[in-house]
Amino acid sequence: MPQTDTLTAAAIRQQFLDFFTEKHGHTFAPSSPVVPHDDPTLLFTNAGMNQFKDVFLGQGSREYSRAVNSQKCIRAGGKHNDLEDVGKDTYHHTFFEMLGNWSFGDYFKREAIQWAWQLLTEVWELDKNRLYVTVFEGDASDGLEADEEAEQLWRELTDIDPSHITRWGKKDNFWEMGDSGPCGPCSEIHYDSTPDGTGGDLVNKDDPNVIEIWNLVFIQFNRDKSGSLTPLPAKHVDTGMGFERITRVLQGKTSNYDTDIWSPIFDAIQDKTGAKAYGGSMEDAADIAFRVIADHIRCLTIAITDGATPSNEGRGYVLRRILRRAVRIARQTLGVDGPMLCELVPAVVGTLGDAFPELKKNPQRVAEVIKQEELAFLKTIDRGIEHFREAASGKEQVSAEDAFKLHDTYGFPIDLTQVMAEERGMTVDVAGFETLMDEAREKSRAGVEHEDAITLTPNAIDTLQKINVDPTDDSAKFEGKPLNARIRAIWDGSSFDDVASINRRVAIILDRTNHYAEQGGQVGDTGMLTIDYEPGLGVREGEGGDRFEIEQTQAIAAPAGSYVLHIGRVTSGQFKIHDRVVADVDRGKRDPIQANHTATHLLNFALRRVIGEEVEQKGSLVADDRLRFDFSSSRAMKLDEIERVDRIVNDAIEQKMDVFTDTVPLNIAQKINGVRAVFGEKYPDPVRVVSIGAPIEQIVTELDNPKWAEHSIEFCGGTHLANTEQAQHFAIVQEQALAAGVRRITAVTGLAALAAQKAGKELLQRLENAASLEAEALVSEFDDIAAVADKLSIGAVMKHRVHEKLDALREQVKQVRKQEQASNREAVVEQARSIADADSATLIVKQIDGADKDTLLAAMDVIKAKCPASAIMLLSPDQEEGKVAIVAVVPKELIGKGLKAGDWVREAAKACGGGGGGRPDMAQAGGKQPEKVPDAIDAAHAFAASKLGG
């Protein structure tokens, strides 16, 4: 074991950084976020080299040629996924740190090998006899010889035992960035921690006692798209050392989890759960749970801090799966009842906050996001576990149907079901589950499609290509000016036609279009096609008013572009293949769509200013009548936040800011300071950039300028205003929860926003005036305003103020109503006296008007006092509220004959759409159909007669 077993993890990290910065001239490069906002192709940052990818690709550079850091990494989901192994072994983690040093065209193999050996054996004093090195053995298919240079350098520059150097193939010792691009051989360093130090034969055998601790990658080739390799003009070094692994080695442990990286988190888990202390067993269920929970809370805390949010898509779904695995094992193994993961966030910040200061900025927000996710899953987890038990009972496999129900009804990700099945020695019908998921997705898509939806099938696309119909040229879509075009195809959803006749819904494909097809959340254009009569060609018989109304515009991807479908109906005349047409966009809809799209960008910008940079777009809708924006947030917005967002957007409108659009090479656009992109979107190269208030030609010459962060700059392929002034006004009309960790804002612009503002002001004025009205008028005005306050489209801030004034008036209205009720009570009691004076029969069933439940009970007391031997039922309908109040009493003698008040009111209530019950001597019920009170009275008589006879 090494002599440095008393080093703390923090000291080990710092010694690594100091070795390269102080002794070998490296620049410290802070860790990039685990959420790669500038690289939508990457789920999570999974290696130290990710932030230097542009350098290796020859698309970027740095001010330094040597770098060192500790990079935050997540490997859970996608190609690199360690999630399934967490908890089962001693060294796999979803989140881990990668210590690394890099050379960008500076030093190469000699220095990398020499310095690695110095650090391991001289600084950290590792036992040289326990170190093993692998080198590349060559590959005939690529024409690559063995990396004899690296092997010779190991022999020449170090005193490693030559027998500890072995050669391995491409799988283990040749690194590639992707299918094409920079690549090269690597040399891995392994450490033997077997008790007797005889584990050399276990190198690369996945044995927990002989693990890789450092990988030195020598990037010296470029693989082109044909697969051929050519030497790079500049050679690079990219090394990666697993921090958790080297800490384990230096602290003399046999498991990563036995180091001081984990002990504070284990202590917190024990404190919050009351479980026994972590014991390090690979078989004990509680110890496995400790490892899973500790690993997962580190991953969640880091990812949420860096801007990710649990959700149902992309990286958000990976986080939700991780969280639910931890919640399930905490609930089922450690007996945790409520949210607990959120209480572990401080322990994570305590262990990692000094290395990654961003963790200390707002850990409360991180804990709240996790808590809300826990609460959502805890609502269904027990029923899900019970369903799993039933599904697993006496079986060897969990069926696809049960797995789907666990997912769809109880929120159990399929991999969680697999874990639970594995714990019982079972399997899951994953293939069947995926089939059911595909069917569900198809039903979901079908559910939102128009009943007459038309789309191109793959066979239809093949046909278009065979008949030489090229994809549509839509370069004119941004201007939307009238355009001459020619009809290339007419498609009805199942076949191609030569003619489009009146009232038949079809899709017309033009050679070129000015219509914007639905994409990126923006709805497609509507418009009109008319025949373009060319001079000298004559006209068809009956021509002159041929019109095709475009109801939808959709783009269908094809190998060399997209076919734009102009979907609609011929309203007069007819249209044929090869006809020349004039395409007109409906500006009455296009203009407000553009206003709403530009306002959506301003809203996105304003939310980041008010709530914080962690706001991430989760979806959007840009239509002609409204805009919708879904964003990551664990809580509802405060009123002052909504007001500030409203103000920022309207300030931008009042400032009459120009809107700039241009296409920019993707690698350059991604470097613009403050630029926003939607994760998961595959952006073209070059990409279209939309900037509000800052000219793009200026932006690309000063990419790092901090002032760009003060502007809305986004990747966007949609249509926009030329100037923000054209939006006129902006108003948020609703802010609501959409899903756990996701909020939705609905807003309007233009005349709709001005109308919303006007309607809100009018309501507020009416409420101001109402306070001085006479009693009856006050109640009427209050009721009118209360009825429309939530129905009118008024600004969310204005709506809140309306409700505040309604609340302030409510007490005044309540007093007026009490006075009315007192007067009404006397009238109801007078009705009761009349009934009692006129009827002393055994059975009294009467309607009393204008009585609520309490007044009805008072009336009952009056009649009961005069008719103590009678069974009495009173019913009072309220036509305005759509309710019926029912009360009944039955004396002891009649109860003995079988008439019970609870059963009696229940039968009457059924007849008027309600229900209820109570004691045999007294009961109450309610109905929902006041117009059926006569039927309820008949039902009451019939039921009583069946019990009492006669």
- Angle (CA) 256 259 265, round 5°: 100
Q: Is 626 left (phi over 0), alpha (psi -120 to 50) or beta?
A: beta
CA 828 to chain CA centroid, nearest Å: 57
Distances (CA, A) of 911 to 672, 901, 902: 70, 16, 15
Which of the pair, 379 or 544, is modelled with greater confidence?
A: 379
**Spatial separation of the C-alpha atoms in residues 533 and 39, rounded to whole Å:** 50
CB 385 within 8 A of CB 338: no
Find the mean pLDDT for residues 327-342: 93
For residue 605, pLDDT beyond 90: yes
Q: Angle at CA 622, nearest 5°, toward 450 and 660?
A: 140
Distance from chain centroid for Cα 204: 39
Q: What is the pLDDT of residue 747?
A: 95
User: In this predicted structure, which of 470-479, 647-656, 738-747 has the lowest mean pLDDT?
Assistant: 738-747
For the residues 619-645, what does the mean pLDDT come to? 92
- ∠ CA 843-847-852, nearest 5°, is 120
Average pLDDT in the chain = 89
How far apart (Å, rounded) are the C-alpha atoms in residues 945 and 600? 68
Average pLDDT over residues 749-758: 90
Least confident of 146-160, 580-594, 757-771: 757-771
* Cα separation values, 16 from 27, 115, 124, 170, Å: 13, 11, 10, 29
Q: What is the pLDDT of residue 114?
A: 98
User: What pLDDT sits at residue 645?
Assistant: 97
Tokens representing residue 330 in the block: 């905490």
Amino acid (one-letter) located at 618: K
Per the structure block, which two tokens stand in for 651? 């300030």
| Predicted pLDDT at 799 | 86
pLDDT category at 3 given cuts 50, 70, 90 is very low
Measured CA to CA, the distance from residue 858 to residue 327 in angstroms comes to 54
* Cα(324)–Cα(497) distance, integer angstroms: 53
Beta strand residue intervals within 610-682, DSSP E: 617-622, 627-632, 659-664
Q: Give me the mean pLDDT over the 64-71 stretch.
A: 96
Q: What is the pLDDT of residues 921-930, one digit of tens each?
A: 999 999 999 9
Grade residue 41 by pLDDT with cuts at 50, 70 and 90: low
Q: Is the pLDDT of residue 448 over 50?
A: no
Residues sharing a CB contact under 8 Å with residue 459, sequence separation 6 or more, in sequence order: none
Residue 2 predicted with pLDDT over 60: no
Phi, psi of 549 (to 5 degrees): -85, 120
Contacts 24+ apart (CB under 8 A), 386-391: 388/412, 388/417, 388/420
CA-angle at 695, arms to 693 and 700, nearest 5°: 130
| Helix and strand element counts for the chain (H, E) | 27, 32
Strands 499-500 and 547-558: unpaired
> What is the model's pTM?
0.59
How does pLDDT run across 538-597, given as a tens digit for each residue? 444 444 578 999 999 999 988 888 999 999 999 998 999 999 999 999 999 999 999 999
Output the DSSP codes for 897-919: TT--HHHHHHHHHHHTT-EEEE-
CA angle, residues 121, 72, 94, in degrees to nearest 5: 95
For 212, residues 6+ apart whose C-beta sits below 8 A from its C-beta are: 188, 189, 190, 204, 242, 245
Is there a contact between 859 and 832 (Cβ–Cβ < 8 Å)?
A: yes
Pairwise CA distance, residues 885 & 488, whole Å: 69
Pairing of strands 627-632, 617-622: antiparallel
CB 930 within 8 A of CB 879: yes
Question: Amino acid letter at 516?
Answer: Y
What whole-number distance in Å separates Cα of residue 784 and Cα of residue 818? 19
CA distance 899 to 393: 49
Is residue 832 within 8 Å of 794, Cβ to Cβ? no
Q: Are 797 and 647 in contact (CB under 8 A)?
A: no
Find the farthest-apart pair of alpha carbons in the chain and give their distance in angstroms, rounded: 121
Residue 506, pLDDT score: 95
pLDDT for 444 = 54
Percent of the chain with pLDDT over 70: 95
- Average of per-residue pLDDT across 48-75: 88
What span, in angstroms and rounded, lies between the C-alpha atoms of 701 and 711? 16
- Give DSSP secondary structure letters for 519-569: BTTBPPP-EEEEE---TTS---TT-S--EEEEEEEEEEEETTEEEEEEEEE
Q: Which tens digits make up the pLDDT trace of 869-916?
A: 999 999 999 877 889 999 999 999 999 999 999 999 999 999 999 988
CB 579 within 8 A of CB 487: yes
Q: What confidence score (pLDDT) does residue 537 get?
A: 43
pLDDT of 835 higher than 90: no
> What confidence tier does 452 reach under pLDDT thresholds 50, 70, 90?
low
Kindly report, residue by residue over 108-135, the tens digit of the pLDDT. 999 999 999 999 999 999 999 999 999 9
